[in-house]
Amino acid sequence: MANILEVKDLRVNFKTFAGDVQAVRGVTFSVKKGEVVAIVGESGCGKSVTAHTIMKLIPTPPGKIVSGQILFNGEDLVPKTQEQMAKIRGKEIGMVSQDPMTSLNPTLTIGTQLGEVLRVHQGLKGEAAKERMIELLKMVGINQPEKRLKQYPHEFSGGMRQRVLIAIALACNPQLLIADEPTTALDVTIQAQILELLKELQNKLHMSVIIITHDLGVVAGFSERVVVMYAGKVVEEGSTEEIFYNAKHPYTWGLLKSVPRLDQDRSVPLVPITGRPPDLINPPKGCAFWPRCEHAMKICAMYEPPETEVSPGHRVSCWLNAEEVKKLTAKAVD
Ligand code: SF4
Ligand code: MG
C-alpha cells in the first residue's frame, strides 16, 4: 500500500524566556493508506506537537518548524501557507482532539457548527446540508439528530460531545483522521464506546488514522502499528504485536508495565516509570532516557544510540540493540 503520510526528520522548537524548547527532535514515520498508526508516549514527549505540526496548527511564533518534511500524498505541507492549509484541514485531514468542551463553541448550536464545516469545505447549504448533518450524526450514533442539531454543546454529555467532534472531523470524508487523546477526558465505559466507534468508522470509511495516546491499553486491538516517542524522538516503532510481545526499548517496557493487561495475572503489579521526562531546553547528552533507564550503560550517556532494525518494520534506538554493543558484550564474555 502507498503511504498517505510521510513525516521525515521533523524538528519543531518553541521559543521561551528560558531558551528554545526542542519539542520534536528529528521524527520520522509514515502512515499507509487505510492504516491505523498509534503514537504513544508520556505527556510532553512531543506527540501532540507532532500532530499539530502535521495540521500546521502550532502557533508560529513561538513555535517553529526548524527542518523536515511532511509529505501528504507526496506533497510537502511544510511550505504551505495557512490559506492553503485551511483547504486541506477538515477536508483531507480531519482532527479530533483531547477536550470536547473547549473544541466546540459553547455559544453556537451543533447544527451551526457542523453546517459551517459543510458550507466552507463542500459548499453545502440549506436542505442538502441538513440532510448530510443528520446522516453524520446518525453515523456517529447520536439519536434524534434533527432535535440534537438545534441544541448547544452544554446539552450534550462528554461522550456525546466527542461524537459530535468526530462527526465534524468526518464531515468532508477526510483521507486521514488524527485523533489526539480522543478518550482521555472521558470515563472508562465511554472511552471504550468512543474507541469502538472510531474503529467501526475507520473500517467503514477506509480512512487512515493516527491515534495519539499516553495509554498503550487504548492501542491494543485498534492500531496496526505503534510509534513510541520519548523526549521528542521516536525510540521504537513496530507492528502492534511486536510492540506488545517483543518490545526492545526499555522505555517501551516501562510503558507496558504501567498498563493493565488482560492476558496477565491480576497479581502482577502495575509499575509506573520512575522519574520525569527530561527538560527539552537542555536534553541529556546521549540517549535522552538514560537518567531513568535501569539498563543504562556508560555509552548511553555519551553517544546517541543508533537506530537498529531488529526485524522487518521493527526499528529501535537503544544501545542494547546496537550491533556495536552486542559485539563488545560478546567479546567481554569470551
Ligand atoms: Fe537505556 Fe541505554 Fe537503551 Fe537508552 S540506550 S534506553 S539508556 S539502555
Ligand atoms: Mg497531548
C-alpha torsion sign, points 311, 315, 319, 323: positive
Nearest atom within ligand 1 for CA of residue 305: 5
Residue nearest to atom 3 of ligand 1 (CA): 318
CA distances from 230 to 171, 174, 235, 292 (A): 33, 29, 6, 12
Residue of 294, 310, 318 best suited for mutating to test ligand 1, as the one with most atoms within 8 Å of CB: 318
- Residue 266 is predicted with a pLDDT of 61
Nearest atom within ligand 1 for CA of residue 319: 5
Distance (Å, whole) CA 197 – CA 166 = 9
15-23 long-range contacts (CB < 8 A, ≥24 apart) are: 15/61, 15/62, 15/64, 16/62, 16/281, 18/281, 19/281, 19/282, 20/281, 21/280, 21/281, 22/232, 22/280, 22/281, 22/283, 23/49, 23/63, 23/232, 23/280
Asked if residue 320 has its Cβ within 6 Å of ligand 1, the reply is yes
**98 alpha carbon, closest ligand:** 2
Confidence check on the interface: ipTM exceeds 0.90, yes or no: yes
Ligand 2 centroid–CA 98 distance in Å is 7
Ramachandran region, residue 217 (left: φ > 0; alpha: ψ -120 to 50; beta: rest): alpha
- Residue 99 is predicted with a pLDDT of 64
Q: What is the DSSP string of 282-316?
A: SPPSS-TTGGG-TT--GGGGTSPPPEEEEETTEEE
Nearest atom within ligand 1 for CA of residue 290: 7
pLDDT along the chain (334 residues), means of 10: 95 96 97 96 92 92 96 97 90 83 86 93 92 96 96 94 92 93 83 90 94 88 94 97 96 88 63 87 95 95 95 96 75 58
> Could you tell me if 205 and 34 are in contact, meaning their C-beta atoms sit under 8 angstroms apart?
no
Residue 116 φ then ψ, to 5°: -60, -45
